Chains A and B, each alone.
Chain A
Amino acid sequence: MKSTVVDILKAFESDASRLMDILHEIQKEFGYIKDEHISELSDALELSEIDIRQCASFYHLFETKPTTHRIYLNDSVIAQMKGRQEVLEAFEKELGISVEQISDDGIALRRTAGMGMNDQEPAALIDDVVFPNLTAERAIAIIKGFREGKNVEQLFYMELGDGNNSHPLLNSMVNNNVRKAGKVLDEFYKPWTALKKAVAKSELEVIGIVRTSGLRGRGGAGFPTGMKWEFCRASQGEKKYIICNADEGEPGTYKDRVLLTENPLMLIEGMCIAAFSIGAQEGIIYLRQEYRYMEKFLNMKLDEARSNNMLGNSILQNDNFNFDIRIQFGAGAYICGEESALIESMEGKRGEPRFRPPFPVQSGYKNMPTSVNNVETLVTICKIIERGGEWYRSFGNSHSVGTKLLSISGDCTRPGIYEVEWGITIRQMLGMIGAQDTVAVQVGGPSGTLISENLFDHKLCYNDLPTGGSMMIFNSTRDLLKDVVLNFTDFFIDESCGSCVSCRATVQQMQKKLVKIFDGYGVESDLDDLRTWAKTTLVSRCGLGQTAANPIVSSLKNFPQLYNELINTDVEFVSSFDMDAAIAESCKVVGREAVVH
């Protein structure tokens, strides 16, 4: 029997802070969120309808129009390189619609970005299931299957993926593609030994080990983990929270996907160690909706931990250690990878970053001290506690210690996950992954930098080329500006929360300028404008805004010749306005030529 909105509300105790879950459940039950649902929620949650709409409209995976099935085709630059256009055309033709429309029989075709599947593009999220390695034929078969009344699981076209992907609870066509395991990914892991070691020590001793290890946040920002925990521990609050950031939205990164699939117990154990150290009672994994297919599997692992007394009350007979974890889903928003936007989203709001101070460690989820740590960071913690801070420190280089998981995609023969020690050069990396004729590497995703061949001897580390691990490789057949830089810039425009003028309005203006140059109307001063305008983005509140001009800024710096080839050097000013094109239609209608002065 179908559940009603009343049932759904009851399941979440009509708690407005669980609005994300409530909207997800409604969408699952009814296919979309109707006006009547919003009205019903408004009464039950004591919010105005607009309060609910503001949340629902922020996340692009919430659907407010009637649909029977929902196809979100990824439009990352790598997907484009791997044949997304043909897949898109096949979907469009078979459905008789364009992208962002809904067919007569209710199948919605939409775009999404950074699905975390760069190693198996083109990929799409179809009714919450990932379909990797799409082709035009497969796209047509999916639509035909839907029209024959098949459900999404009956449309699989490949063997289930490697490792746990073929576990009945995961049941996924996704492949892990782990190419190189290092100190974190290696097989030396015995569940719960690290936690047992930790609880035998004092909280401060555990934090001390993490500080000694030199571990820095692996999501990309690189804040020292031990210090974060220490701050959170020292903050006053009735309750404390440990949140695992599994939003992994930076285009090109997918290492957390693999860790969640293959090392879920390590993650849970890492969260327990964090909870013990900072004194947290509740843990939440903020998992991106793109990874919904892992829900049952991860919940089974949480149950396993509970049955081993690693979660729940009096963990390991320690009367003061009560801790449990739940999963919270996002709904498609890159910005929610930013820790304070993630917290807002968990509270059932729009994912708008908070201003600082206060920092989340002082006042985070529900205004309580909260430590937000990346999946890779928490998994690494297990190894550090098990083998010691000094042991971990011995890897990497003097500036950046330990190892890093790289997510490699693009023009190379062996895309996948590589665990490397910090300090390897781009050239060494390219050799490892089978990349040839490489002209550019996007280090750290769109918010990072696009580097050219003369910089390939630089090292991956915090004081040279810092990275959250996304590495996209481009060879000489690629049009770096039109295919890569424009794609990334559009991504930032779509994914901005829209709050700061400096991010929302500046990047839009820069994008228009870029298109003006591509259209052949660019002059030297347009390049100067791009460089100067970019400075305004730096005053934005969060990392997204501050880095949103990076694709343009870094390509201007490292590939100036590509821009110079496109601009008119013989004139100082060219209007972006083409008078002849603008009046062509009216000239045709009246059948006369215009005389333009």
Chain B
Amino acid sequence: MERIKFTIDHKQCEADYGQSLVDAARENGIYIPTLCHLQDEKPCGSCRVCTVKINGRYTTACTTPIECGMEIESNTDEIMDIRKSLIELLFAEGNHYCPTCERSGECDLQALGYRFKMLVPRFPYLFPNREVNTDCPHLIIDYNRCIRCKRCIRSVKDENGKSYFAFVNRGNHIEVSIDKKMAADMPLELAIKASVNCPVGSILIKENAYRVPIGKRKYDLAPIGSDIENSVEHVNMEEQS
């Protein structure tokens, strides 16, 4: 595999040709925050949280393949503020009440809120009317918390490639919707996949709440992105250099 060189915020980096910027950065111990990105699924670049700047142009790190000699701006004040505003927009657009949410401590949106030191969104809350759907016997789908990241849409399909989830409508009326007929017979393992892939508390398995107590959850133990920044490989590389 061809190795190529590039820089992120002036730091020399190296990665395999053909990787996305997110993966290439990770390999070099640099965390580019993501939200809609799902490892092993085709990226869709809808949350824009992984926005970086290359040659004065914004692009999303999840959808852009790394190229030789790229000079990537990532953790600049400008880009960090754009990322923070995107996270704030999501909090203001839905109804996100962390203290009563089953996903608190395991929620990527909440974890990014902490990472970006969001106290209160700069945007007014929109308090939309959203529904809770229970068409699937295994799932509670709380649209109040949905951030329209498309992770469920992209990753949960039946053996013939038919979708369980899809967007309906467009613009600010866009919603994720579940296929009524297919939901009724959805196998448990696919329901679990949908729930695990949901970055927020929107898709939950019924009768399964609070198995892990608050305080002992993923992001209670370590902030989002810290696994990449403290990765062993990376520390070793630093020591060698």
> Which of under 10, 10 to 19, 20 to 34, or 35 or more describes the interface residues of B?
35 or more
- Chain A residues near B47: list those with CB within 8 A: 500-501
Q: Is A505 an interface residue (CB 8 A)?
A: yes
On whether A506 and B89 interact (CB within 8 A), knowing A350-B167, A498-B170, the answer reads yes
6 contacts between A and B (CB under 8 A): A47-B163, A54-B168, A58-B169, A355-B44, A498-B171, A539-B82
User: Per-position contact with B for A509-553: 1 when CB-CB < 8 Å, else 0?
Assistant: 100100000000000000001000101101111000000000000
User: Per-position contact with B for A343-358: 1 when CB-CB < 8 Å, else 0?
Assistant: 0000000100001010
Binds A, one of B175-183, B197-205, B227-235: B175-183
Pick the contact of B46: A58, A500, A535, A576 (CB < 8 A): A500
Give the A interface residue count (CB, 8 A). Answer: 40
B148 to chain A: closest residue by CB: A498
- Chain A residues near B64: list those with CB within 8 A: 357
Q: Is A50 an interface residue (CB 8 A)?
A: yes
| Minimum distance in angstroms from A507 CB to a CB of chain B | 8
Pick the contact of A48: B82, B148, B163, B171 (CB < 8 A): B163
| Minimum distance in angstroms from A272 CB to a CB of chain B | 35
> Contact at A493–B122, with CB atoms within 8 Å?
no
Measured CA separation A313–B65 after assembly (Å): 40
Pick the contact of B45: A48, A50, A355, A497 (CB < 8 A): A355
Pick the contact of B48: A54, A500, A512 (CB < 8 A): A500
> Contact at B85–A533, with CB atoms within 8 Å?
yes
> Contact at B171–A50, with CB atoms within 8 Å?
no
Q: A49-B181, A539-B82 are known contacts; what are 20 more A-B pairs with Cβ within 8 Å? A: A54-B163, A333-B170, A335-B170, A355-B43, A355-B44, A496-B171, A498-B169, A498-B170, A500-B45, A501-B47, A501-B148, A502-B86, A504-B93, A504-B171, A504-B172, A505-B90, A505-B93, A508-B93, A508-B172, A536-B89
Q: Is B173 an interface residue (CB 8 A)?
A: yes
> Contact at B48–A49, with CB atoms within 8 Å?
no
Pick the contact of B58: A53, A335, A506, A538 (CB < 8 A): A538
Q: Is B165 an interface residue (CB 8 A)?
A: yes
Measured CA separation A46–B123 after assembly (Å): 43
| Minimum distance in angstroms from A332 CB to a CB of chain B | 10
Q: Is A376 an interface residue (CB 8 A)?
A: no
Q: Is A437 an interface residue (CB 8 A)?
A: no
- Chain B residues near A498: list those with CB within 8 A: 148, 167, 169-174
- Chain A residues near B45: list those with CB within 8 A: 355, 500, 541
| Minimum distance in angstroms from B126 CB to a CB of chain A | 7
| Minimum distance in angstroms from B201 CB to a CB of chain A | 18
Q: Is A494 an interface residue (CB 8 A)?
A: yes
> Contact at B169–A50, with CB atoms within 8 Å?
no
> Contact at A53–B168, with CB atoms within 8 Å?
yes
The A-contacting residues of B in range 32-48, CB under 8 angstroms, are 43-48
Q: Is A339 an interface residue (CB 8 A)?
A: no
Q: Is B195 an interface residue (CB 8 A)?
A: no
Q: Is A51 an interface residue (CB 8 A)?
A: yes
> Contact at B167–A576, with CB atoms within 8 Å?
no
The B-contacting residues of A in range 476-503, CB under 8 angstroms, are 493-502
| Minimum distance in angstroms from A480 CB to a CB of chain B | 24
Pick the contact of A536: B60, B86, B162 (CB < 8 A): B86
- Chain B residues near A494: list those with CB within 8 A: 171
- Chain A residues near B150: list those with CB within 8 A: 499
Pick the contact of A512: B89, B124, B160 (CB < 8 A): B124
> Contact at A501–B46, with CB atoms within 8 Å?
yes
| Minimum distance in angstroms from A592 CB to a CB of chain B | 27
Closest 8 CB pairs of A and B: A498-B174, A50-B179, A54-B166, A505-B89, A48-B162, A355-B63, A50-B166, A57-B168
- Chain B residues near A335: list those with CB within 8 A: 170
A516 to chain B: closest residue by CB: B124
A60 to chain B: closest residue by CB: B170
On whether A54 and B167 interact (CB within 8 A), knowing A49-B179, A493-B172, A501-B89, the answer reads yes
Measured CA separation A541–B181 after assembly (Å): 33
Measured CA separation A357–B57 after assembly (Å): 14
B168 to chain A: closest residue by CB: A57
